[in-house]
Structure 1
Amino acid sequence: MSRVLSRALCRAATLSAGLAGVTVLAASAVAQQAPVGDGAEGQREPPVPVAGNAAGASVEPSEAPLAVASDAEDDAAKYRRFDALAEPGLTTSVPGSADSLLRDAGGVRSMLAEHDIGIQARLSMVGLYNPLDTGQPYAPQRYNGQRPTLQYQATNIVTTIGLDKFGLADAKLILGYNSQITTFRPNGQNTVGFRNIALYQSFADNKIELKLGIMPNYYEWVGFFVGGSPVLASGLTGLIPIQAGLSADPAATPAVNLTFHAKRGGYLKLGVQRSTAPAGTPYELDHNGPNVAFKMKDAGPLYIGEVGVKRPASKDGKQIWVRAGALYNDSNYTRFDGQGTAANKTVYGAADFQLTQPDRAQPSHGVYAGASVFWAPSNVNSMTQFYEGRVYHLGPFASRPLDSVALRVGYTKYSDDAQTANAAQEIYANDHQFSVTGSYTFHATHGLYLTPGVAYIKNPSFIGRFKDALNLSGTIYVLL
């Protein structure tokens, strides 16, 4: 029994101290994630800039308007073609190819598009540090930011190949690569592997979507990057579904997702996935080589369903996204009371509404408000409840149309069973965490986003009597 309890305590400490980085390293997500249960919202994909004639180009006055309009239309159509070849079936998006460093340098993207091939490459880096006295010894490190922490430096490359030429209309093969470096072991490990080996197929004029293969499933569900895009985020909104086995970067797993679309943005999504290892993401990465394992110790099938309404902002209306879902994981999670193992589950709901729309020409600009609620059982999860309220503004200044600013308030309830198990071992454990996080995302130039942030966190670690933290963070996100 002591061995079982010790294993459970170890897992509880790992989840509570590092889950914010463990399962969401979101290399491509570039979200600065506050420790243990703190969340953060993402934003939408920014408007795609249109490239016109070079400044100062000399044309005859009578020809100039037509020439400029023609070039702009050609460029816009070209980039729309590139973006149509991006990875499909996601609830999360990143800025389009027009907002990338390389854009169509050397005509490479155009050449690939001629063969129905699209490519997206992203680099990200997140660093955190709490400059205040932690109230605990320097070692061991219990949470991101307790010491200067490189939460992760990551590279994602995702290639899609259209299969029309092979007789599969509206189908794509998706191949992805992921690498990651981190200085805090609970965030995972330094790793290189496959991120995607998947097939996408749509039916009935995109009213039905099927996606199957190896993939990080948190891009497909819940809306962890609220509003759409991790680029303009400073972390994830809620970690409980990931704690309960939903796969996330850098640990992709086999999955099948099926989505049905209805009128006015309604949808129903169903899926099954091989759970990530109940022992945690570090264990998954240690035993999954390049991320192609169909089996993992104690990991069984994870079933998930979600229903919602998602309507993007347009000149005719404001954005709305309301969703609710449930997850059941038939895997062997060690119980905190030492009484063997149990399955895991999660219930969640979230909503985001656009409150203002100051410019119909830029319909996504304006102030948004949202909230999220998550629940999981106390017998096998360190985090059992999470609540968040958020307000964010896209395009806060006319002179900075691709910037965003966000404020989030989050509350995490920790497991009573895990606290009891820790108390039996004379280990101090907190019963909750409270956080307030603010961030501003600067669009520096094509393909470069910088997000400084600050987070006040009460009880920054589940285990240990830490003083309140003031995590300072910096995120760099590059789209190639």
Structure 2
Amino acid sequence: MRNTIDRAAIVAAAALAASAPVAVGAQTTTQEAAPSSTPDVQPATVSALPDDSQTPAPDRYKRFDDLSLKGWAIPYPKVADTILGDKLGVRDALADIGIGISPINTANFQYDFLQNDRGYKGPQLYNGQRITRTNTTVSLTATYDLGQVGLKGGQLATTFSVINNSFPAVNGPKKVRIGRLHYYQELFGGAVDFKLGYIDNTQEFLGINVGGNLATGNLGPQATIPFQLGLSYGGFAAPGFNLRVKSKNGLYNKIGVQRSLPPGGAAAENAVNPGGFRFSPPETGVLMIDEVGFNRPSAAGVKSTWIRAGGIYNTTQFARFGRPGETRDNFALFAAADRQLTQVDPTKPFRGIYAGGTINYAPPQQNFYTQYYEGRLYAVGLLASRPFDLASLVSTFNVYSPQGLAARTPPGQGNYRNTFAVTASYALRVSAGSYLQPGLGVTVHPIYTPRFSPALNGYLSIITLF
């Protein structure tokens, strides 16, 4: 009886801690409200160890990992890679009743060391023009194993997020929101799975993080187009349904149908749906996404390969540039591939050098960002003593819509038709659950108008997983 009382007390304490106020955090968005050429893709807000099938998580953590959020395109972080692990007995007590928890903090900063804005004295226009906290997020994800009530392979999941930043005009509103609330189910031994509810699709499709790693793959990519189309993302979930069919040889097809975010991204969504629960706000339609791919993780003697491609179609009516009052539906196409080039340690087969690329396209008549090209070269575990560090070099090229430039450039003021960036970074796993990622990058045309000189951006990403 005493053990039962103690365990109940621990569970109650955990619940009180989860509901207590937390430090305000933020998340960047891909809205078009301000003229920035460096909009951050909704970045991951968690960290993840590479999926190392040769060295399973220690037995004491397996029951916690089995309760982790399911259904992502990339591995969810393992409890072995957290600050608390199973200390204090909180996870043990919650796991006994089928509950898993994952508290996460992340903060990103950016600054342009050159300040080549040619004497500009107006308000801030792009990330880094002044010291910018582009993204700070505090979130708590909780899951419930429906096997506890006889539904094997089923899971309920929710995320509560506090999001904040120092430059809302580009990076989105400061907000406390529901991040997700959905039902997940595996069928046929994992060959089929689906999700139904309020879904954040950031890590469900596309594979936007370098190396598929949430803690170390955030710096560099600027793939704005899918989120410009209205795809749901971290902190801004939308009601939807995802269905994935996969084979044992790595082939898969994943389809999603969701209520679109309105044109304008996070700011527009927050204006019409501040709490996140509204099912069908004004000016939203149905967004459909289909991704076909081949995903083979690394194993001893086998190098990893991930190829994916697909399309997005949105029935939401987007305004056409230069044609007042005229709207139309929207679509985008995407393709990406990542390949492991070297494998240096058979006991940790994920260690090695990788290369990858991404292409996105959306029609210029109603999309300000119309073409996106990304090349990436990265290495996991260059040093044998640091197998989970990631070094990366990412180049990106964004093309603006000619019609959008004509509509948004003030009379008599020039503009740039594209922007090019190269970012180098090294993500350091300081300790279990703690990551520090400094980076340095050059952006040619940091803003489309006025015509500023190149920027030399310093980056810093700090992620802690409890």
TM-score w.r.t. the length of structure 2 is 0.88
Residue in structure 2 matched with residue 242 of structure 1 by the alignment: 227
Residue in structure 2 matched with residue 273 of structure 1 by the alignment: 258
Instruction: Verify: 1:252 aligned to 2:237, yes or no.
Output: yes
Residue in structure 1 matched with residue 115 of structure 2 by the alignment: 133
Q: 1:145 corresponds to which letter in structure 2?
A: G
The within-5 A match list for 1:162-181 is 162-181=145-164
Residue in structure 2 matched with residue 17 of structure 1 by the alignment: 36
Residue in structure 1 matched with residue 166 of structure 2 by the alignment: 183
Instruction: Verify: 1:306 aligned to 2:325, yes or no.
Output: no
The within-5 A match list for 1:360-439 is 360-423=346-409, 425-439=411-425
Please state how far the C-alpha of 1:399 moved relative to its aligned partner: 1.6
Residue in structure 1 matched with residue 202 of structure 2 by the alignment: 218
Q: Is the 8 A contact 1:385 1:414 kept in 2?
A: yes
Q: Quick one: structure 1 residues 320 and 349, their matched pair in 2 at CA, closer, same or farther if it must change by over 3 Å?
A: same
Which of 137, 140, 143 is residue 160 of structure 1 equivalent to? Answer: 143
Residue in structure 1 matched with residue 213 of structure 2 by the alignment: 229
Q: Secondary structure at the match of 1:227?
A: helix
Residue in structure 2 matched with residue 39 of structure 1 by the alignment: none
Residue in structure 2 matched with residue 350 of structure 1 by the alignment: 336
Q: Is the 8 A contact 2:46 2:77 kept in 1?
A: no
Instruction: State how far apart, in whole Å, the 2-side matches of 1:85 and 1:239 are.
Output: 32
Instruction: Verify: 1:470 aligned to 2:456, yes or no.
Output: yes
Instruction: State how far apart, in whole Å, the 2-side matches of 1:131 and 1:84 are.
Output: 45
Task: Mark the runs of 5 or more structure 2 residues left unpaired by the alignment.
Answer: 1-29
Instruction: State how far apart, in whole Å, the 2-side matches of 1:323 and 1:20 are.
Output: 23
Q: Is the 8 A contact 1:188 1:285 kept in 2?
A: no
Q: 1:248 corresponds to which letter in structure 2?
A: Y
Please state how far the C-alpha of 1:289 moved relative to its aligned partner: 1.9
Q: Secondary structure at the match of 1:231?
A: coil
1:50-81 per-residue CA deviation (whole Å, 9 max, x = no partner) reads: 9xxxxxxxxxxxxxxxxxxxxxx9x8112122
Q: Is the 8 A contact 1:19 1:239 kept in 2?
A: no
Q: Quick one: structure 1 residues 311 and 103, their matched pair in 2 at CA, closer, same or farther if it must change by over 3 Å?
A: same
Instruction: State how far apart, in whole Å, the 1-side matches of 2:214 and 2:284 are.
Output: 28
Task: Mark the runs of 5 or more structure 1 residues left unpaired by the alignment.
Answer: 1-10, 31-42, 51-72
Q: 2:139 corresponds to which letter in structure 1?
A: N
Residue in structure 2 matched with residue 26 of structure 1 by the alignment: 43
After superposition, the CA RMSD in angstroms is: 2.1
Q: Quick one: structure 1 residues 86 and 312, their matched pair in 2 at CA, closer, same or farther if it must change by over 3 Å?
A: same
Which structure would you say has the larger RCO, counting Cα contacts within 8 Å and 6 or more residues apart? 1
1:324-383 per-residue CA deviation (whole Å, 9 max, x = no partner) reads: 010001101111122411111110100000011111100100000001111000011111
Residue in structure 1 matched with residue 71 of structure 2 by the alignment: 89
Q: Secondary structure at the match of 1:471?
A: strand
Q: Is the 8 A contact 2:50 2:388 kept in 1?
A: no
Instruction: Verify: 1:450 aligned to 2:433, yes or no.
Output: no
Please state how far the C-alpha of 1:46 moved relative to its aligned partner: 6.3
Please state how far the C-alpha of 1:286 moved relative to its aligned partner: 2.7
1:184-241 per-residue CA deviation (whole Å, 9 max, x = no partner) reads: 1121111101111100011100100010111211210000113222201233451211
Instruction: State how far apart, in whole Å, the 2-side matches of 1:192 and 1:262 are.
Output: 39
> In terms of mean alpha carbon deviation, does 378-387 or 289-298 score higher?
289-298
1:272-322 per-residue CA deviation (whole Å, 9 max, x = no partner) reads: 011111132112123212211111221100011010000111114111100
Q: Is the 8 A contact 2:112 2:130 kept in 1?
A: yes
Q: 2:264 corresponds to which letter in structure 1?
A: A
Residue in structure 2 matched with residue 327 of structure 1 by the alignment: 312
Residue in structure 1 matched with residue 58 of structure 2 by the alignment: 76
Residue in structure 1 matched with residue 50 of structure 2 by the alignment: 45
Which of 118, 125, 129 is residue 142 of structure 1 equivalent to? Answer: 125
Q: 2:142 corresponds to which letter in structure 1?
A: T
TM-score w.r.t. the length of structure 1 is 0.86
Q: Is the 8 A contact 1:27 1:153 kept in 2?
A: no
Q: Is the 8 A contact 1:442 1:450 kept in 2?
A: yes
Q: Is the 8 A contact 1:355 1:369 kept in 2?
A: yes
Instruction: State how far apart, in whole Å, the 1-side matches of 2:402 and 2:32 are.
Output: 14
Q: Secondary structure at the match of 1:230?
A: coil
Q: Quick one: structure 1 residues 12 and 310, their matched pair in 2 at CA, closer, same or farther if it must change by over 3 Å?
A: closer
